[in-house]
Amino acid sequence: MLYFDHEPMPALFFPNQEISLDTEHLNPADRFGRNAIDPTAEHIIGLRFESNDDLIGLALLKGHLDDLGYTNVVLDAPYFPYSTMDHIDGDKSHPLGLRYVTKFINGLNFKKVRIMDPHSYAVSTLVDRIEVLRGTLMLLDEVNKWLWKHRATQGFVLVYPGTDAQSRYCFNTAPDCQLLLDKRPIIESGETAGVRYAGDTSAIDDWPRPCVITADLCRRGRTYVGCAEELRALGAQQIILCVAHLEESAFESIFRDDSPIDAVFATDSRLPHGFENSIGKLNLFPIF
């Protein structure tokens, strides 16, 4: 789904599945003089990536704005497409999706590209004129407010579901307020073989504090459920998942009746247009 200056821009599909957009209202010099659009002011295209059709629509919309004389167009892409496809297997059997999509978006020549918590570190080096926003840090602040509201004033334990999350979100808190759960994925299938605790459990002696699993992307949720089950086995009493990008494909795992996760904090960056939050344990913070 695309947005222009925060207003939805639905795609129009021809019978042959080619795409068009209704852009009549974007002409700053239409013959009726109805528009008062300044093409030199900052204008924002929002990319809420739901399918590859959004990338074609993005190319059409930006090209049309260029033709109309818009000179200061910013792309807001909270979730950057293909950000999990940043490597090639040993036999080079899969394309470097992130690199090629980055070239495509760079070719559209945006004034600035704003991305929230990119899954791959490569995004920051590949995207031209990038500005990185830290959505998970904002969510952690909301978690803290929520816990105070529920009289959980003793603070919380940050839990990293892997070394990537630890390097991304490690804070200058006391050592006994942080845990690392090390996942071991099986590359061929993409599944996680298991979750093992990495560290000295004797350093944690205050388990009544809530545990907050912190990460950037939740795709199927199995890793975080495994982390939560491990924390339960260690004695955790309340477990919260804090993730910038939450996909609907994870709902079956993290919101099942016997889920060990008590609450989820996330944005709507990867949820479909029109999604309504009707899940009691989901604290959703819309950015579109």
Write down the pLDDT at residue 202. 46
CA distances from 140 to 71, 123, 213, 243, 283 (A): 36, 23, 10, 9, 12
Distance, in Å, from the CA atom of 181 to the CA atom of 192, rounded to the nearest integer, reads 12
Distance, in Å, from the CA atom of 187 to the CA atom of 197, rounded to the nearest integer, reads 20
Distance, in Å, from the CA atom of 242 to the CA atom of 10, rounded to the nearest integer, reads 30
Same domain, 89 and 221: no
Same domain, 68 and 152: no
> Exposed e or buried b for every residue in 156-187, given b needs 16+ CB within 10 A?
bbbbbbbeebbebbeeeeeeeebbbbbbeeee
Write down the pLDDT at residue 256. 92
Same domain, 106 and 175: no
Write down the pLDDT at residue 41. 93
Containing structural domain, residue 235: 135-285
Same domain, 117 and 141: no
Same domain, 124 and 140: no
Query: Where is 285: in which H helix or E strand?
Result: strand 282-285
Among 214, 198, 34, 15, smallest CA distance to 134 is for 214
When divided into structural domains, the chain yields a total of: 2
Could you list the mean pLDDT of each consecutive 10-residue stretch along the chain, which spans 288 residues?
94 94 85 73 96 96 96 97 83 86 97 95 94 92 86 72 73 54 48 48 56 91 88 84 95 94 95 87 92
Same domain, 78 and 153: no
Write down the pLDDT at residue 27. 86
- Which domain CATH number covers 7? 3.40.50.2020
Same domain, 274 and 154: yes
Write down the pLDDT at residue 113. 98
Same domain, 179 and 96: no
Taking the model in full, what pTM does it have? Answer: 0.85
Query: Where is 159: in which H helix or E strand?
Result: strand 157-160
Same domain, 101 and 139: no
Same domain, 38 and 129: yes
Same domain, 126 and 145: no
